[in-house]
Amino acid sequence: MSLIKVLIIDDSAVVRQILTATLGKDPAIEVIGAAADPVFAIEKMNKQWPDVIVLDVEMPRMDGITFLKKLMAERPTPVVICSTLTEKGAATTMQALAAGAVSIVTKPQLNLRKFLNDTADELASAVKAAAKANMKRMVPSGDRVPPRLSADVILPTANNALPRTTENIVAIGTSTGGTQALELVLTALPRVCPGIIIVQHMPEHFTAAFAERLNNLCEIEVREAKSGDRVIPGCALIAPGGRHMLLKRSGAQYQVEIVDGPPVSRHRPSVDVLFRSVARSAGSNALGIIMTGMGDDGARGLKEMRDNGAHTLGQDEQSSVVYGMPKEAFKLGAVERELPLEHISAAILQSMHQRS
């Protein structure tokens, strides 16, 4: 099998050196070059085109956003954004994702070498996921592997006996390619729609900027969730990066709880944790949707939702940027039916009138 050819674009010589060494350790990856800015990068790319580009967003001569737009218009290529872990840079990174980038890898301002060495597996996984990305769907609008934990570390499995309420809720889980997928789904929804809770795999600090961007684009309200927020019609709550989100029942109402805890299915927030909490608290009053993403986070949780009476949907392979999470959920029997991305918003509206 051929190696994944990677080009690194970052104005920091230290970052270029560390990323080259870190990625070069993975036997499936070949770093074919590094450039200080997109202008230099274009010269290298004309000689050898990469399979994946690791790109900074703030650079001299040509910034990452301008380069991304040019790249996606002329020759769409998977891009992983390598951005500083700050709230200031989050808004710019959201623009990069909107312009067609596949995912984010964060880098701190201090202790950079140690951080990137400690997250070598995460970085390599992001590059491998990007290499598998279906770019037709990306239309602009350490060596130690942590133990694989299940949702049991956050909360026990669901109980079947739940009193009925009149409130329907929608739970969505997604990862690679999900920022654009969520934008397409949520911008198509009118304000009269069920309350929505979302886990999008995204680092800390970036979810607030992502929610703010969607809120400015959507008719519904979209915001980063806080503990105690009610799940109400016409509002979508996005789990904050770095923490898990649970659905709780309070009488006839639903609210979310934001909790700390270890990564589940190697993610925090985890879709499995959200879906299990929905299975426990909402049962047949819920619609679960699993969309584009690498890995299998959410598959088991969605199966628990279906087993407890919820309707469940999976994004189909043709419309997924990475058909990983939906595929694993389908294989597990968690998906009631698969739909193209363009049909998911209509299915959400139909769920307002569905009862098991």
Q: What domains are there in the chain, each with its CATH number?
A: 4-137 (3.40.50.2300), 153-353 (3.40.50.180)
Q: Is the pLDDT of residue 63 over 60?
A: yes
Q: Is the pLDDT of residue 35 over 90?
A: yes
Q: Which tokens hold the place of 250? A: 């309070």
The per-residue pLDDT for 250 is 83
The per-residue pLDDT for 114 is 77
Active site residue 56: no
Q: Is the pLDDT of residue 87 over 70?
A: no
Active site residue 297: yes
192: burial class by Cβ within 10 Å (0-12, 13-18, 19+)?
exposed
Indicate the Cα dihedral angle 150, 151, 154, 158, nearest 10°. Answer: -140
pLDDT band at 48 (very low <50, low <70, confident <90, very high): very high
Q: Which range has the worst mean pLDDT, 11-25, 70-84, 154-168?
A: 154-168
Give dist(CA 142, CA 353) in Å, integer.
49
Q: What are 172-202's pLDDT values in tens digits? A: 999 988 999 999 999 999 999 999 999 999 8
Closest CA to 181 of 87, 80, 100, 288: 100
Mean pLDDT of 114-128: 81
The per-residue pLDDT for 218 is 95
Beta strands in the chain (DSSP E): 4-9, 29-35, 52-55, 79-84, 103-107, 169-174, 195-200, 221-224, 235-238, 244-250, 253-259, 286-290, 311-315, 337-339
Q: Which residue among 26, 51, 296, 297 is the active-site one? A: 297
| Cβ atoms 326, 291 nearer than 8 A | yes
The per-residue pLDDT for 143 is 34
Q: What are 325-349's pLDDT values in tens digits? A: 999 999 999 999 999 999 999 999 9
Q: Which residue among 83, 175, 265, 351 is the active-site one? A: 175
CA angle 173, 175, 178 (to 5 degrees): 85
Q: Which residue among 103, 201, 229, 277 is the active-site one? A: 201
Looking up tokens 């769409």 gives 76
The larger pLDDT score, comparing residue 51 to residue 12, is at 51
Please report, rounded to a whole number, the percentage of residues in the chain having pLDDT higher than 70: 88
Active site residue 205: no
